[in-house]
Amino acid sequence: MFLYMLIFMAYYSSRWLPRNQRLKLCQLVNAVFTAIVLVPQLYVMGRTESSRYCRQPLLNNLTAFIALSFIALGFSVVFTLIDPVPQSLWAFYYVFGLLSFGQGLCTAILTLTATACVSK
């Protein structure tokens, strides 16, 4: 739900600005989003120990979260730049929210059941 909230915040914060200044906000939001969300995930994925740490599919879960992060980045760009957002795009956004919730639930379950991964 973290990604869902980021898109929501990007959309409503862009509505405070005039239309001709939204591109600057979009660039700022994308830079901050990439720095906060994607860089740590890509760092963990690039480590050599990440794939051999334990038997839980935590690396597969991280891959799914990275894919959802890229989709959220696209949603934040589109929602920031388009003024009357079409209803079909809102529908896809709500479906993305359900996917984000499911992925967060899977992350919580996999993390709680990964007791064998505590010690190396």
Cα–Cα distances in angstroms (integers) from residue 118 to residues 47, 50, 104, in the given order: 17, 13, 20
pTM: 0.78
According to the model, what pLDDT value does residue 49 have?
A: 66
For 19-63, the pLDDT digits (tens) are 777 777 777 777 787 778 778 887 877 777 665 566 777 778 888
- Arithmetic mean of pLDDT, 82-96: 89
Residue carrying structure tokens 């760009």: 77
The one-letter amino acid at 53: Y
| DSSP class per residue in 58-94 | HHHHHHHHHHHHHHHHHHHHHHHH-SS--HHHHHHHH
pLDDT over threshold 90, residue 98:
yes
